[in-house]
């Protein structure tokens, strides 16, 4: 795997996320005169993270109603994934297909030994083998880069911030006037902290997508294949988006493309970078030596 500036950006974003959490904790502890309250939210966040991390593959596969496929049923899929796994010197993941015509793919699992790769019937229908190889290279790099852990921790910290902010909004006025925090500061922080957490979580997800694009293209040695696939995916999803069922919304950040039709603010707050930007980066990569 290659190290690049996006790793530093992810670390910096996590730092800002923790600063927001500590600010919420300090205000809540000061308002309630009980520093221990923030630990309650931290324990809840830790339990949520552990459950999501250990069961990420089952949750995602179930949400997409995916079924396992054998090599006899999907020889092309097996051939591509086996070749890329061997090239990366990683174990072969389990392979699944989701019975939806919306074109997409995702990889999940807490480590390469427990990984699963899922393609929809729609993506296998519209992509040729070269383009599908580009997509699978991207998805495998999410597993090799431990992005499931990254996204799980980011989601947990953001969830703790949101829960603590809501608690502070309704119960943060305790104590006497001398001890109590400024009510306006409590109100502003309670409203803005969850928004800040969501934006930072979104930014972390986007940096991981850029990394998977870059590292996946190094693995396949073919960035233009992924660029061509992303163009087809954007058009295909606009024609056949997934329904905004909550289970699918919770899984959508794992997918190679935003599975929902959207514009304006919904795209602005998407966990996926703009397709045009991703394609432009990949086309610029094609002019440079890659290697693995």
The set of catalytic residues is 139
Among residues 47, 52, 49, 107, which one has the least CA distance to residue 77? 107
Length of the chain: 292
Edge-to-edge strand ranges of the sheet holding 94-98: 67-68, 94-98, 116-120, 105-108
**3-state DSSP assignment of residue 235:** helix
Read off the tokens for 49.
């993270």
- The secondary element (H helix, E strand) that includes residue 185 is helix 183-220
Read off the tokens for 264.
């304006």
- CA 222 – CA 166 distance, rounded (Å): 47
Q: What are the two backbone dihedrals, phi and then psi, of residue 257, each rounded to the nearest 5 degrees?
A: -135, 150
Residue 2 DSSP label: -
- CA 159 – CA 151 distance, rounded (Å): 12
- The secondary element (H helix, E strand) that includes residue 195 is helix 183-220
- CA 53 – CA 70 distance, rounded (Å): 26
- CA 94 – CA 68 distance, rounded (Å): 8
- CA 66 – CA 60 distance, rounded (Å): 9
CB atoms within 10 A of CB 5: 10
């Amino acid at each position: 795997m290659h190290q690049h500036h996006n790793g530093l950006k992810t670390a910096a974003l996590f730092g800002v996320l923790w600063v927001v959490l500590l600010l919420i904790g300090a205000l809540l502890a000061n308002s309630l005169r009980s520093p221990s309250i923030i630990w309650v939210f931290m324990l809840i966040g830790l339990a949520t993270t552990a459950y999501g991390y250990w069961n990420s593959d089952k949750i995602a596969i179930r949400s997409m109603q995916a079924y396992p496929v054998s090599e006899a049923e999907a020889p092309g899929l097996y051939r591509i994934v086996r070749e890329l796994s061997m090239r990366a010197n990683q174990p072969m993941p389990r392979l699944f297909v989701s019975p939806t015509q919306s074109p997409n793919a995702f990889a999940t699992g807490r480590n390469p030994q427990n990984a699963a790769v899922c393609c929809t019937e729609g993506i296998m229908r519209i992509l040729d083998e070269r383009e599908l190889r580009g997509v699978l290279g991207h998805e495998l790099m999410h597993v090799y880069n431990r992005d499931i852990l990254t996204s799980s921790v980011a989601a947990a910290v953001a969830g703790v911030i949101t829960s603590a902010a809501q608690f502070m909004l309704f119960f943060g006025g305790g104590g006497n006037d001398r001890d109590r925090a400024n009510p306006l500061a409590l109100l502003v922080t309670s409203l803005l902290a969850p928004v800040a957490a969501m934006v930072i979580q979104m930014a972390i997800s986007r940096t991981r997508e850029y990394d998977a694009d870059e590292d996946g293209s190094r693995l396949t040695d073919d960035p233009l294949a992924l660029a061509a696939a992303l163009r087809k995916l954007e058009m295909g999803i606009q024609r056949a988006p997934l329904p905004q069922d909550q289970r699918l919304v919770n899984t959508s950040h794992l997918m190679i493309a935003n599975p929902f039709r959207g514009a304006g603010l919904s795209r602005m707050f998407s966990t996926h970078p703009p397709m045009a930007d991703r394609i432009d980066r990949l086309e610029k990569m094609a002019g440079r030596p890659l290697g693995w």
